[in-house]
A and B are shown apart, each in its own frame.
Chain A
């Protein structure tokens, strides 16, 4: 009985999570732009956490600012540029493809290619 009670408490504990209710914009197109931007931003006060996932007060304020700009007609790109202008490119979840970030983008493909060549060589050597 105690074991059942323990697991019942465990089940309900995962649902006992404070949720911040945020009002979406009344214009669906503007809300879409806001959501696009929110999904591509990091929370600046929660290391490594996406803005969309954070319940921090400052994260909520950032989302409000995103919606305010979307309501003024800004596209998601313009909103991301605004935040990147203030916090640097590191606020973006997906770094832009430019000179300094090119190694970051190319490295996985280069390593994959080298790995494939190595595998081919190993397969050839088998009797």
Chain B
């Protein structure tokens, strides 16, 4: 019995490691736009406007239409790269677009948007990161697609590339049809 102890230790450790490995979250498949917030009603985001006045966003304001919220900053390289895809997404779908500038100022973000493209109907500011924390952001850029009920349906961490924009476009159109049917 005692001779089996080394073998028992080895099997125990191997089993624990195997269990830990299979419990790791699997890599996302292409076109998988799920995230930690998908399926949840968007929480109230304590944001500011260009005059630094309180200008929160909440689910009630998004009812009845599909909304895309994009967190960005002028000092973020990938954010600059994805702007042309966001502009194309806006042109393809006409979706309501809200930009949230994280730790950035109007005096900097306005010329930056003129240079890289501006898909936003509305721009908000998140100077203290409270909006980012409320949504569980880990970095920028990050994009959320909200349906007509205020529910987060898709979440894209990182810069939107051309192929992901092409996958996302029909999904947004489908949500817009749902919104039209619900009216």
Q: List A residues at the B interface (Cβ < 8 Å).
A: 44-45, 57-58, 61-62, 64-65, 83, 86-88, 100, 103-104, 107, 110-111, 114-115, 117-118, 121
B residues near A58, Cβ cutoff 8 Å:
129, 132
Q: Determine whether B29 belongs to the interface, using a CB cutoff of 8 Å to chain A.
A: no
Q: Determine whether B139 belongs to the interface, using a CB cutoff of 8 Å to chain A.
A: yes
29 contacts across the A-B interface (CB closer than 8 A): A45-B138, A45-B139, A57-B103, A58-B129, A61-B128, A61-B130, A61-B132, A61-B133, A62-B133, A64-B128, A64-B129, A65-B129, A65-B130, A65-B133, A86-B36, A86-B133, A86-B136, A87-B36, A100-B23, A103-B16, A107-B16, A110-B12, A111-B12, A111-B13, A114-B9, A115-B9, A117-B2, A121-B3, A121-B5
Once the chains are docked, how many angstroms separate the CA of A117 from the CA of B13? 16
Per-position binary interface string of chain B over residues 1-37, scored 1 when its CB falls under 8 Å from any chain A CB and 0 otherwise: 0110110110011001001100100000000000010
Say yes or no: A114 contacts B2, CB within 8 Å. no
B residues near A57, Cβ cutoff 8 Å:
103, 129
Number of A-B contacts (CB under 8 A): 53
Once the chains are docked, how many angstroms separate the CA of A88 from the CA of B36? 8
> Across the two chains, which residue of chain B brings its CB closest to A117?
B5
Say yes or no: B9 contacts A118, CB within 8 Å. yes
A residues near B3, Cβ cutoff 8 Å:
121
> Across the two chains, which residue of chain A brings its CB closest to B10?
A114
Main secondary structure of the interface of B (DSSP, over half): helix
Q: Determine whether B50 belongs to the interface, using a CB cutoff of 8 Å to chain A.
A: no
B residues near A44, Cβ cutoff 8 Å:
138
* CB proximity of A28 to chain B, nearest CB, Å: 24
Say yes or no: A118 contacts B129, CB within 8 Å. no
A residues near B12, Cβ cutoff 8 Å:
110-111, 114
Once the chains are docked, how many angstroms separate the CA of A117 from the CA of B133? 48
Q: Determine whether B135 belongs to the interface, using a CB cutoff of 8 Å to chain A.
A: yes
Q: Determine whether B81 belongs to the interface, using a CB cutoff of 8 Å to chain A.
A: no
> Across the two chains, which residue of chain B brings its CB closest to A104?
B20
Q: Known contacts A107-B16, A111-B12; is A118 also within 8 Å of B138 by CB? A: no
B residues near A111, Cβ cutoff 8 Å:
9, 12-13
> Across the two chains, which residue of chain B brings its CB closest to A64?
B128
Once the chains are docked, how many angstroms separate the CA of A58 from the CA of B5? 48
